[in-house]
Structure 1
Amino acid sequence: MITNLCFHGIGVCTQEREAGEARYWVSADAFHGILDETLDRPDVKISFDDGNRSDVAIALPALQERNLSATFFALAGRLDDPSSLSPADLRTLRAHGMAVGSHGWSHIPWRGLSPADARRELIEAREALVEASGGEIADAALPLGRYDRKLLSQLRGAAYRTVFTSDRFRARPNAWLQARYSVTSLDTADSIRNLLTRPTSVSEVRMVTASLVKRMR
C-alpha cells in the first residue's frame, strides 16, 4: 500500500480565493520537515493541487534538494494569474523531472456538471495544460474531492490513467482511483510521521466505506 500526500499552498496564504483555503496552506518550515519524513519512503507519493506559484517558488527547490519527485495538478483557468503557475512554470517543473496533471479549469466540483461544463473541465482543461506544459497530461485530481459513479465513468471515457481523490486512506499502488491525505496548516513533521507509521485506523476504514458508497451512487 502507498500513502499519497497532497499539498495545496506553501508559505502564507495572503488572500483566499475560496473560503477556508488558508487551512490548506503549510508553512515553509513545516513543509520542509514533512518532506524530510518522506525520505527513503518509496511507499509515499507527493502531489500538489490548485497550481499556486509557491509550487515552483518554494516546493520545487525543496524537492530537488531531497531528490524527490511529485505531480503538480494545475488549473487551466489560472495560467494567466500571477499568483498561479504559468506555462513557463509548468515547463520548468517538467524540465526538473516533475509530472503535471489536470485539476480542471475553474476549481469547481466535477460532480453533476452539465455536458458543456464537463467538457470544459475534463477535456478542454487537459488540452490547454498539454499545450501550456509541453507534455502529456495523463492524471487528474478531483477538485474538492467530490465524485460519483457517473463522473468516474466520464473520467474513464476521457482516458485518464489515474484519478486522485481527497479520501483519507492508503491506496493500492496500481489502483485507477487513488485516495490521498490533504496536508493542512495544522500538520507538522510529527503528525505526518504518525500518519505514515500508524496501523490502519477506524476513521480510515470509515473513509474506505464512504468511498465505496460514492462509487455506487
Structure 2
Amino acid sequence: MHSVVNLTVHGIGPTNRELDPGEDGTWVNVEQFEQVLDAVVGRQDVHITFDDGNASDLEIALPRLVERGLTAEFFVLVGLLGEPGRLDVAGVRELAAAGMRVGSHGWAHRDWRKLNAAEVKQEIVDANRVLGEILGRPVSRVAIPFGSYDRHVLGRLRRAEVTCAYNSDGGRANPDSWLQARNSLRHDIDAAWAPRVMDGTPSPPLRARRVAARAYKRLRG
C-alpha cells in the first residue's frame, strides 16, 4: 500500500502578536520554510498543511507555494479571524481563490478533549458552518487542535459528518484513512529534516510506539 507524508506548518517569520506558551517551538524562519518547500517540489506523496490561520499563511507562505507550483491545505481558527497576526475573512478567500484548500481548526484553539456541550457545538459544528459561509461551499475537513483526541472526540467528528481529520501523531499515513497523521515543522529543523521525514524509515521500535500510541488515543476517554 502506498503512503503519504503530511507536513504541518504553523507560523513563519516575524509576528506582530504575542505567541501562546510553547507556540514558539513550532515557529520557523523563512529560510527553514523555503528549504522544506524546495524538498517537497515534485513529490506527489507529500501534502503540506497549515494550522492556526496566522497572517504568515497569506503574506509569506502563499507566494512561495505559488512560485513553486505547490498547493496546500490551510486549517484556520474561525473565531480568531481578523485578530492581530491572524488571517481575516478576505485572506481566507484569497487563499481559496489561489487554489488552496481551506478547512477548520476549530473556533478558539481549545483542547477538544476538554469541551462542554456548548463548546463542542462552537468548535466543531459552528466553525465548519461559518467557514462554509465564508467560502461559499461546505467545509467538512478539520485539523484537531494540539493533536488531542480520544474516542469521544472522534465520535463527535463522525456525527458532525467530518470527512477527514488530521492529527499530530507523526509518521506516514494511508491516503485513504479518515484520520491522518502529520509531522510538524519545528523551530530547530535544518535542511536535512524534510528529506529525513519524507524518505526515512522509522526503526521497528519507533513504529511500534506510534501504533500503540494511536490505538491508545482512539480508545481512551
Same-fold status (TM-score > 0.5): yes
Unaligned runs of 5+ in 2: none
CA separation in 2, counterparts of 1:77 and 1:142?
A: 15
Report the CA distance between 1:161 and its aligned residue: 0.8
Alignment match, 1:168: 170
**In structure 2, how many angstroms separate the alpha carbons of the residues matched to 1:184 and 1:41?**
21
Moved over 4 A (4+): none
Q: Does 1:8 align with 2:10?
A: yes
CA distance in 1 between counterparts of 2:75 and 2:165 reads 11
> What do residues 64-90 of structure 1 show as CA deviations (whole Å, max 9, x unaligned)?
011111100000111121311111001
Distance in 1 between residues matched to 2:208 and 2:86, nearest whole Å? 35
Which amino acid counterpart does residue 211 of structure 1 have in structure 2?
Answer: R
Distance 1:176 1:13 in 2: 33
Q: Is the 8 A contact 1:138 1:160 kept in 2?
A: yes
Residue of 46, 49, 55 corresponding to 1:47: 49
Letter in 2 for 1:136: P
Aligned pairs, number: 217
Letter in 2 for 1:210: A
- In structure 2, C-alpha distance between the alignment counterparts of 1:189 and 1:67, rounded to whole Å: 20
Give the deviation of 1:13 after TM superposition. 4.2
Determine if the alignment matches structure 1 residue 35 to structure 2 residue 31.
no
Cα distance, 1:136 vs structure 2: 2.7
CA contact (8 A) 1:25 1:184 kept: yes
- Superimposed CA distance per residue, residues 101-156 of structure 1 (whole angstroms, 9 cap, x where no aligned partner): 00001101101311111001001111121122333312100001100001101100
For residues 14 and 169 of structure 1, what CA distance do their matches in structure 2 show?
32
**CA 89–137 in structure 1, closer or farther in 2 if over 3 Å, else same:** same
2:156 to 133, 154, 157: 154
Q: CA deviation at 1:205?
A: 3.1
Candidates 201, 211, 215, aligned match of 1:212: 215
Paired AA for residue 218 in structure 2? R
Q: Report the Cα distance in structure 2 between the residues aligned to 1:92 and 1:204, rounded to whole angstroms.
A: 39
The SS at the match of 1:173 is coil
Q: Provide TM-score, normalisation by structure 2.
A: 0.94
Give the TM-score, by structure 1 length.
0.96
Quote the Cα distance in structure 2 between the aligned partners of 1:184 and 1:130.
30
Q: Which moved more, 1:132-141 or 1:88-97?
A: 132-141
Compute the displacement of 1:193 (Å): 1.0
Q: CA deviation at 1:184?
A: 0.5
One of 127, 131, 134 as aligned partner of 2:133: 131
* Residues 166 and 181 in structure 1, CA contact (< 8 A), matched pair in contact too: yes
Gaps in structure 1 of 5+ consecutive residues:
none
Quick one: which amino acid aligns to residue 5 of structure 2?
T
Which segment is superposed worse, 169-178 or 183-192?
Answer: 183-192
